[in-house]
Amino acid sequence: DTAVSQTPKYLVTQMGNDKSIKCEQNLGHDTMYWYKQDSKKFLKIMFSYNNKELIINETVPNRFSPKSPDKAHLNLHINSLELGDSAVYFCASSRGRREGEEEKLFFGSGTQLSVL
């Protein structure tokens, strides 16, 4: 069973459209994340949710809206897609930082978004 699964794996769309990427984790983790990886492989955090509550928002445009219906799901909705949104988006989860434990992230396989 896939621990962190995201769909779709590929997403090709026109500029101006609205699209969503879904993510689910079956690890029982409390914290979920969205990362963006650009064409140079640079990974940058976008959002982090802990138990459905937003804890990190890294100056991402308002067009990006994460939604966490429960702690096992963190979906990413993007409005009015722009060319610069083309990238690979990774969902991840972790147990969350606790005393004596570390912030080890488990990543999904990525969604390659191409905006034409």
Partner 1 sequence: GESVGLHLPTLSVQEGDNSIINCAYSNSASDYFIWYKQESGKGPQFIIDIRSNMDKRQGQRVTVLLNKTVKHLSLQIAATQPGDSAVYFCAENGGNEKLTFGTGTRLTIIP
User: How many Å from the N-terminal Cα to the C-terminal Cα in the chain?
Assistant: 34
67 contributes a contact to partner 1 by CB under 8 A = no
Instruction: Tell which residue, 31, 54, 9, 1, has the closest CA to residue 106.
Output: 31
Tell me how far apart the alpha carbons of residues 4 and 95 are, in angstroms, rounded to a whole number. 13
Which residues in the 4-63 window bind partner 1 by CB under 8 A?
4, 31, 33, 40-45, 48, 50, 55-56, 58
110 in Cβ contact with 89 (< 8 Å) = yes
Size of the site for partner 1 (CB under 8 A): 26
Which residues in the 79-108 window bind partner 1 by CB under 8 A?
90, 92, 97, 102-108
Smallest separation (angstroms) from partner 1 to the CB of 61: 19
Tell me how far apart the alpha carbons of residues 115 and 11 are, in angstroms, rounded to a whole number. 8
Chain residues binding partner 1 by CB under 8 A are 4, 31, 33, 40-45, 48, 50, 55-56, 58, 90, 92, 97, 102-110
